């Protein structure tokens, strides 16, 4: 069991995509399982949001939930819009593509806030040639499977980066 002093705050991760119904809730669900598997739930907290509020309050896209269920994931978070206050609440704000990056960056009010924004693909290990996590919304099931493959890979890489940075 990993230990951390109780007076230290949790490491907080926020995954961000456009609508918060496909990529970011999938990244959240995958990372929650990885955190649980590594017994780090007292140290790492995970959430997700979208740059638009179109789907606020909705469950993730049914197709993403079906593909996630097939891999044993629980994608059941409710969609919400990214807020400026998220910069104060989270240590990592992890976006899926350049549009998400630019939308989130436009809300930042300091260079410290901008430094929190990271591309999900920065953490890819096996699929490092991908420059962004594609939005599967308008595609077929192969797009959802690709996104899950990429998010599994990147989340494992992200956890390794966090473990190294915080000596976990």
Cα separation, 23 vs 118, in Å, equals: 15
Is the pLDDT reported for residue 7 higher than 60?
Answer: no
Is the pLDDT reported for residue 40 higher than 90?
Answer: yes
pLDDT band at 9 (very low <50, low <70, confident <90, very high): confident
Cα separation, 18 vs 22, in Å, equals: 9
Cα separation, 105 vs 99, in Å, equals: 10
pLDDT band at 8 (very low <50, low <70, confident <90, very high): low
Closest CA relative to residue 50, chosen from 96, 89, 85: 96
Task: Name the catalytic one among 22, 23, 80, 86.
Answer: 23
Is residue 118 part of the annotated active site? The answer reads no
Q: In the block, which residue shows the tokens 């891999």?
A: 71
* E strand intervals along 26-112: 44-50, 92-95
Backbone torsions φ then ψ of 12, nearest 5 degrees: -110, 125
Task: Name the catalytic one among 86, 97, 135, 153.
Answer: 135
Task: Sketch the domain layout of the chain as residue ranges.
Answer: 11-163
Is residue 74 part of the annotated active site? The answer reads no
Lowest mean pLDDT among 3-12, 34-43, 111-120: 3-12
The answer regarding whether domain 11-163 maps to CATH 1.10.940.10 reads no
pLDDT in tens, 49-103: 999 999 999 999 999 999 999 999 999 999 999 999 999 999 999 999 999 999 9
pTM: 0.94
Cα separation, 109 vs 116, in Å, equals: 12
Distance of CA 5 to the CA centre of its chain: 25
pLDDT in tens, 115-156: 999 999 999 999 899 999 999 999 999 999 999 999 999 999
């Amino acid at each position: 069991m990993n230990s951390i002093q109780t007076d230290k705050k949790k490491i907080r991760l926020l995954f961000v995509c456009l609508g918060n119904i496909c990529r970011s809730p999938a990244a959240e669900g995958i990372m929650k399982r990885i955190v649980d598997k590594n017994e780090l739930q007292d140290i790492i907290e995970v959430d997700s949001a979208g740059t638009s509020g179109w789907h606020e309050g909705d469950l993730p896209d049914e197709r993403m939930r079906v593909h996630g269920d097939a891999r044993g994931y629980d994608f059941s978070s409710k969609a919400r819009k990214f807020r400026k206050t998220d910069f104060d609440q989270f240590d990592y704000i992890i976006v899926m593509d350049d549009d998400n990056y630019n939308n989130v960056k436009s809300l930042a009010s300091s260079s410290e806030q901008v430094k929190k924004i990271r591309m999900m693909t920065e953490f890819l290990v096996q699929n490092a040639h991908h420059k962004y996590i594609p939005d599967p919304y308008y595609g077929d099931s192969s797009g959802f499977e690709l996104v899950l493959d990429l998010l599994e890979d990147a989340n494992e890489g992200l956890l390794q980066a966090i473990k190294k940075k915080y000596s976990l």
